[in-house]
Structure 1
Amino acid sequence: MSTQTTTVMDEQMMKRALTRIAHEIIERNKGVEDCVLVGIKTRGIYLANRLKERIEAIEGVMIPVGELDITMYRDDLKAKHESGEPVVNDVDLGAAIDGQKVIVIDDVLYTGRTVRAAMDAIMDYGRPNQIQLAVLIDRGHRELPIRADFVGKNIPTSSQEQIKVELTEVDSQDLVTIHK
């Protein structure tokens, strides 16, 4: 059976979407003081770094970027540490998050389970005033009551379709495709 591939976002569209998200983050937060960007591994980290560059170019102020590997916080993963507690790998939140506005960044929002795991991990490291969510693609099909505050593009999909996000840092090109 052959798979059909449709391009839904090219390099220019991705740049425009990230620039718009950067402006929306600045506007919603009335600047970026007390804000920390936290990218979810793997592609969320690269998107967070791109947003950091855009925000700093617009505002002229530094914004910390952290990274989060939520693998062991997944509720669909059985592997736990001997103590029964989940293990988090490679957490570097970039700054203290107590009292901060933490903006979680990921490539695709689907069921909401990755975001819930990220929130659990963040809460283990501090108590932010607020957690916001920025995603490049929102494809629907939520299993949890989670919505993105900032969305690059809404792409309604069927559960048989897959969204593939490619970034130059990992995949040597910027491209978002749907595979049927």
Structure 2
Amino acid sequence: MVESKSLVLDNKQVNQKIRRMAFQIFENNFNEKEIVLAGIKNKGYILAQLLQEQLNEIASFKTRLVGVSLDKEAPTQSNISLDCDEKEVKNKTIILIDDVSNTGRTMAYSLKPFLNIKVKKLETSVLVNRSHTQFPISIKYSGFELATTIKEHVEVLLEKEEKCVYLL
């Protein structure tokens, strides 16, 4: 059986969503001197890089890019870590970023490194929010809200030449 793909967002639309999200982040944090974009590896980190590019064009504050590593399939058995020293994010506004939010599980576990650090504010951002919340995670900045069944799958491509979102 061949899986059928339905294009949800094309390259131009994904770029527009990322730019709009960057403006929303800027509008809600314009008084900050620096914000930390914490991208969940792998695609969340790529999205964080794309948001950083947009924010560097429009915002007056500095942005710091940080990677959050964890095993998405077995987060309770994995080491959840930042690719920087905790002191670098202390007392800062943090935006935790992933490509898709399904149940909120990955976001919830990705908060772990920040629970031992005093942060100024912690917000969340995803390109696609499916809203099948099973964890108490609310997405602050969402590029696209997509109503799906829990069995459907969302595929996000964030390559330089092709950015798009498919529903499988």
Q: TM-score, normalised by structure 2?
A: 0.89
Q: CA offset at residue 4 of structure 1?
A: 2.3
* SS at structure 2 position matched to 1:156: coil
Return the match for 1:127 from 109, 118, 121. Answer: 118
Counterpart residue number, 1:45: 45
| Amino acid in structure 1 at the alignment position of 2:121 | Q
Write the mapping of 1:16-165 to structure 2, written as runs, cut at 5 A: 16-71=16-71, 76-77=74-75, 79=77, 87-88=79-80, 91-92=83-84, 96-124=88-116, 126-165=117-156
Q: 1:89 to 1:96 in 2, by over 3 A?
A: closer
Counterpart residue number, 1:175: 164
Give the structure with higher Rg (CA). Answer: 1
Unaligned runs of 5+ in 2: none
30-39 vs 138-147, which moves further: 30-39
Q: TM-score, normalised by structure 1?
A: 0.84
Size of the aligned set, in residue pairs, is 168
Partners of 1:110 and 1:88 in 2: CA distance: 19
Partners of 2:130 and 2:124 in 1: CA distance: 14
Q: CA offset at residue 89 of structure 1?
A: 5.4
Q: CA offset at residue 91 of structure 1?
A: 2.3
| Amino acid in structure 2 at the alignment position of 1:6 | S
Partners of 1:16 and 1:151 in 2: CA distance: 12
Counterpart residue number, 2:10: 10
* SS at structure 1 position matched to 2:108: helix
Q: Structure 1 stretches (4+) deviating beyond 6 angstroms?
A: none
* SS at structure 2 position matched to 1:7: strand
* SS at structure 2 position matched to 1:159: coil
Partners of 1:130 and 1:163 in 2: CA distance: 29
1:125-152 deviations in Å (ceiling 9; x for gaps):
x221211001000012110121110000
RMSD of aligned residue pairs (Cα, Å): 2.2
Identity %: 24
* SS at structure 1 position matched to 2:150: coil
* SS at structure 1 position matched to 2:148: coil
